[in-house]
């Protein structure tokens, strides 16, 4: 009798090994769920059903893991883009006072110096700086003649104006800048009363 049990166990093991190479084979966990002896007594159609259920479970797990990976990759790309924008905004925010100084210097240069070659070099440096800002999509906020927008403009004064109606920007005291929809620095303006 012990010999018969050994034969049955060896037949089950041989059957498992034979099925191991076949697609859809129910792994050991499926066999353990119902027991070795009970699995051995199952009809091939029942074994196939168990294997298909396990395959469906594995497919679902694989699809879920794949979707989670795709979502993680998208989230990482969004975070990288946001970090790049934040770094750009930080650097540009530090450069804006220098740009303001250049603009004030360019506006107040005496006529006799405007034709000197060294001033042309200074003007070239200014153009390079503005070109760099253009290349990273930094744009000036339009102010004069525009309706006052507290998201884009910082009003510091109000004055009467014959040219503009109330609530419209009359003068710009300091240029504002933005990167896409994010304001780096609002334009400091005077608004018509």
- pLDDT number for residue 152: 95
What are the pLDDT digits (tens) for 10-28?
555 555 555 454 444 445 5
Bridge partners for 185 per DSSP: 177
Helix (H) or strand (E) holding 176: strand 176-179
CATH topology of domain 139-193: Nucleotide Exchange Factor Grpe; Chain A, domain 2 (2.30.22)
CB atoms within 10 A of CB 172: 19
Q: Would you kindly state where each structural domain of the chain is located, as residue ranges?
A: 139-193
CA distance 115 to 128: 19
What are the pLDDT digits (tens) for 160-175?
988 999 999 999 999 9
**How far is Cα of residue 157 from the mean position of the Cα atoms in its chain?**
39
What are the pLDDT digits (tens) for 38-92?
777 888 888 899 889 999 999 999 999 999 999 999 999 999 999 999 999 999 9
């Amino acid at each position: 009798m012990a010999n018969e049990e050994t034969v049955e166990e060896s037949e089950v093991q041989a059957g498992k090994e034979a099925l191991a190479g076949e697609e859809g084979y129910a792994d050991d966990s499926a066999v353990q769920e119902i027991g070795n002896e009970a699995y051995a007594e199952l009809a091939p159609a029942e074994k196939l059903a168990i294997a298909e259920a396990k395959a469906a479970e594995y497919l679902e797990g694989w699809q879920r893991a794949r979707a989670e990976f795709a979502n993680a990759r998208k989230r990482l790309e969004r975070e990288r883009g946001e970090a790049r924008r934040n770094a750009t905004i930080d650097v540009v925010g530090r450069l804006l006072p220098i740009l303001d100084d250049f603009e004030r210097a360019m506006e107040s240069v005496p006529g006799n110096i405007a034709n000197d070659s060294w001033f042309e070099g200074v003007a070239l440096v200014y153009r390079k700086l503005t070109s760099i800002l253009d290349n990273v999509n930094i744009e000036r906020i339009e102010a004069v003649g525009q309706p006052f927008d507290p998201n884009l403009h910082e009003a510091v004064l109000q004055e009467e104006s014959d040219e503009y109606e109330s609530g419209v920007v009359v003068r710009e005291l300091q240029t504002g800048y933005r990167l896409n929809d994010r304001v780096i620095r609002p334009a400091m303006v005077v608004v018509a009363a």
